[in-house]
Structure 1
Amino acid sequence: MDRPPGLSVRLKLTLSYAGFLLLAGVLLIAAVGFFLLRQGEPAFNSAGAVQATPATMFLKAFAPTAVAAMTFLLVFGLLGGWILAGRMLAPLNRITDATRLATTGSLSHRIRLPGPNDEFRELADTFDTMLARLEAHVAEQRRFAANASHELRTPLAISKSLLDVARTDPDHDTTELIDRLHTVNTRAIDLTEALLLVSRAEQRSFTRERVDLSLLAEEATETLLPLAEKHGVTLETHGDITPTTGSQALLLQLTTNLVHNAIVHNLPEGGTVRVTTGVRPGRAVLTVENTGEQLAEELVPTLTEPFQRGTERIHTDHAGVGLGLAIVKTITHAHDGTLTLTPGTAGGLRIDVELPAA
């Protein structure tokens, strides 16, 4: 925004300090003069005539001293005010320099303002925290873009290889080629739709409405029941009415991803998935637990990162695109909720989604 040039804050503070000091001096001199005028008596000569009035004596004796004092106060106020304003605004200059560096893309710089806790220190610490979060977010977005490019390039490279084989070998069985191309293209489409879903959730471009998590849990388990039966996994659903507000489509996707993830990351046979909904003070809670392999503590926090997989999937179908829990995390944050992952003592994983209660 183009704005007309104006006085600097330092100059304004300097003039304010000098003006206040000058005003205080004027008031003090006026009070002293008023006191002298009231207490003074006329001066008489040898003949008994009035030689000088108190006002005349005030102007001759006190006025020059007052003018000199006022001149000194003005110079001292300007010089001292300039120095004092500079010292007071020094932390603000450091914050401004850090802001300029941030606008150039340098997010690693920190102010780290020393000294006691005051308004400038609080502002600097808040700015440092913002830079740290922004740097982490930018790094995460860069990793996401790099991983997404890699994941999208893989099916395209496979399709190109299959087509090159078909071109060099016209007698090759086209049925197998078509089936493999269909599988690869389906994976690319699923990945693209997942990326679009993540983008939509991050932008929060959805209409909020009243949603019952217990109904979404029932719908998700019914939809994935054939997949669970195919892999010998038992689905259990418990819970009361659990109202929250948000996008029903996104929250259904969240629930479906959790249940799907719990099924495909389960025991080879005889596994269990428990879906529970409930209400805590001010919170609507969705919990999905499953049996499975023992997970290391340090591995669990990475499961919500895009394209990260805790273990190799046992079932080659429904292999997913590595965005299941990343989508869950994004949708949860878009609904002002919290996502908690806890490894089971006997194996498997427990995932709690807490959303604001309606």
Structure 2
Amino acid sequence: MSVRLKLTLSYAGFLMVAGALLLAAVWVFLLRYIPDRAFVVSADIDLTVFPVRSRLLDVFVPRAAGVMAFLLVFGLVGGWILAGRMLAPLSRIAEATRLASTGSLSHRIRLAGRRDEFRELADSFDGMLERLEAHVDEQRRFAANASHELRTPLAITRTLLDVARRDPDRDLGDRLRAVNTRAIELTEALLLLSRADRRSFTREHVDLSLLAEESVETLLPLAEKHGIAITTAGDPATTAGSPALLLQLITNLLHNGIVHNLPSGGTVRVGTAIRPESVLLTVENTGEMLDPRLISTLTEPFQRGTERIGGDQAGVGLGLAIVKSIVQAHDGTLTLAPGAAGGLRVTVRLPQATGKSKYVSG
């Protein structure tokens, strides 16, 4: 039985019960004031007795049966129409679901009318379709870009092997090693990005200021090599998350600030701060003026901004994409803005650690 038929039978049944109760109440009311028999005195003073209740019953029952039949028909027809009108939004939602199951995510319900339970359900479904469409488009772009990025070192390796086969005496070991290293770095970056998206990590209390100092010590040789000065400042800022992923986040931001900088004499400033119910991590570097439209695309996978100061640190184009995924996995927000005198200012806002840490399973 369809839901519409069930609702129709429910409406009709309720109407029949209500009608039966009403007729029963009328019958009981009549019985209270009508005697069993009535005496009629004719003109010649003959006394005649009439059975009033039995006569009333003979008249009342057929008419009550007619009323019940009318209520049954009225309840079925009216219930069918009302159920159809009430369930019309569900039909539109079901149609949108069928379209989505075929892979069409561009369809929207856009249910009109006053805001009720069906409108809230339709709006929630439209929001889900919008997020799914954006996610699928992002995954398609990511798969296409990843395939392109992985194909490049493989194609270079094949070319070098062909050259080595034609000229066995030629030493191509260093070039093959460099290409292989790039392929490994890209694969590891893809695995890290996948791990962050799954949120499969243990949450611990982590001080971002300590992780920032550790990351600065790790990348200080690279900064000195290119004449970049790194300054750190701020207060202890404790959040709950994965120490390894948060360290990777800061390292990526710091590395990005170093390689996208002035040819010489540039700076990278790292700071931490505490806000009500949140902590802030800020990484700002000098560099050329950036177009705001370019900044909005930097967190997309395999998007690279300005030219880097050194070709030996080419990267794989996943630095800020990994940062974005780690921030989202920690329920934070990531903000990119151009610096006042050039360069990029990146602000990460994470929830402040409260209570005990907990385990989050992906």
Corresponding position of 2:360: none
Q: Work out the CA distance in 1 between the residues paired with 2:8 and 2:31.
A: 34
1:108 Cα offset (Å): 1.3
Of residues 144, 147, 158, the one that matches 1:146 is 144
Q: In the alignment, is residue 319 of structure 1 matched against residue 314 of structure 2? A: yes
Matches within 5 A, 1:31-180: 31-41=25-35, 42-45=37-40, 46=42, 47-53=46-52, 55-172=53-170, 174=171, 177-180=172-175
For the residues of structure 2 that align with 1:49 and 1:291, how far apart are their CA atoms? 119
CA deviation profile, 1:254-281 (whole Å, cap 9, x unmatched): 0000000001111111111110011111
Contact 1:36 1:58 in 2 (8 A): no
Tell me how far apart the structure 2 counterparts of residues 314 and 146 of structure 1 sit (CA, whole Å): 28
Which residue of 1 is the match for residue 11 of structure 2?
Answer: 17
2:194 is equivalent to residue 202 of structure 1:
no
Partner in structure 1 of residue 297 of structure 2: 302
Q: Matched residues in 1 for 2:60 and 2:49: separation? A: 20
Does the 8 Å CA contact 1:33/1:58 hold for their aligned counterparts? no
1:26 aligned onto 2:26: no
Q: How far 1:18 moved relative to its partner?
A: 0.7
The answer on whether the counterparts of 2:226 and 2:309 sit within 8 Å (CA) in structure 1 is no
Unaligned runs of 5+ in 2: 354-362
Q: Deviation string for 1:286-315 (max 9, x for gaps)?
A: 110111110011111100000001112121
Post-superposition Cα deviations, 1:146-191, rounded to whole Å, max 9, x if no partner, equal 100100110110111111112112343x1xx111111111100000
Paired with 1:193 and 1:216, the residues of 2 have a C-alpha distance of 21
Shift of 1:49: 3.7
For 2:189, the aligned partner's letter is: A
> For the residues of structure 2 that align with 1:304 and 1:354, how far apart are their CA atoms?
16
Asked whether the 8 Å contact 2:193–2:322 carries over to 1, the reply is yes
Give the counterpart letter for 1:142 in structure 2: R
- Give 1:20 shift: 1.2
Amino acid at match of 1:330: S
Residue in structure 2 matched with residue 3 of structure 1 by the alignment: none
Q: How many residues align?
A: 348
Contact 1:242 1:278 in 2 (8 A): yes
Q: Is it true that 1:252 corresponds to 2:252 in the alignment?
A: no
CA-to-aligned-CA distance 1:179-208 (integer Å, 9 cap, x gap): 111111110000000000001111111111
Give the deviation of 1:33 after TM superposition: 1.6
- Shift in Å, 1:357: 0.6
Greater relative contact order (Cα 8 A, min sep 6): structure 1 or 2?
A: 2
Distance in 1, Cα, partners of 2:314 & 2:169: 31
1:4 maps to none
Q: Which letter maps to 2:15?
A: L
Tell me the SS of whatever aligns to 1:303. Answer: coil
Equivalent residue for 1:284? 279
Alignment deviations for residues 199-244 of structure 1 (CA, whole Å, 9 cap, x no partner):
1111111111111101000000111111111111110111111111
Cα distance in structure 2, aligned partners of 1:58 and 1:284 = 85
- 1:228 corresponds to: 223
5+ unaligned residues in a row in structure 1: which ranges?
Answer: 1-6
Distance 1:219 1:345 in 2: 28
Distance 1:67 1:244 in 2: 75
1:249 shift after superposition:
0.4
TM-score by length of 2: 0.94
CA contact (8 A) 1:235 1:274 kept: yes
2:205–2:238 Cα contact (<8 Å) kept: yes
Bigger Cα displacement from structure 2, 36-45 vs 56-65: 36-45
Q: Distance in 2 between matches of 1:58 and 1:182?
A: 108
What amino acid does structure 2 have at the position aligned with 1:76? Answer: F
CA distance in 2, matches of 1:236, 1:140: 35
Q: How far, CA to CA, are the matches of 1:261 and 1:37 in structure 2?
A: 94
Between the two proteins, what is the percent identity of the paired residues? 72
Structure 2 counterpart of 1:216: 211
Q: CA deviation at 1:57?
A: 2.8
DSSP 3-state at the match of 1:347: coil
Using structure 1 for the length normalisation, give the TM-score.
Answer: 0.95
Partner Cα distance (2:47, 2:333) in 1: 98
Taking the aligned partners of 1:44 and 1:13, their CA distance within structure 2 comes to 52
Measure the CA separation in 2 of the matches of 1:40 and 1:160: 109
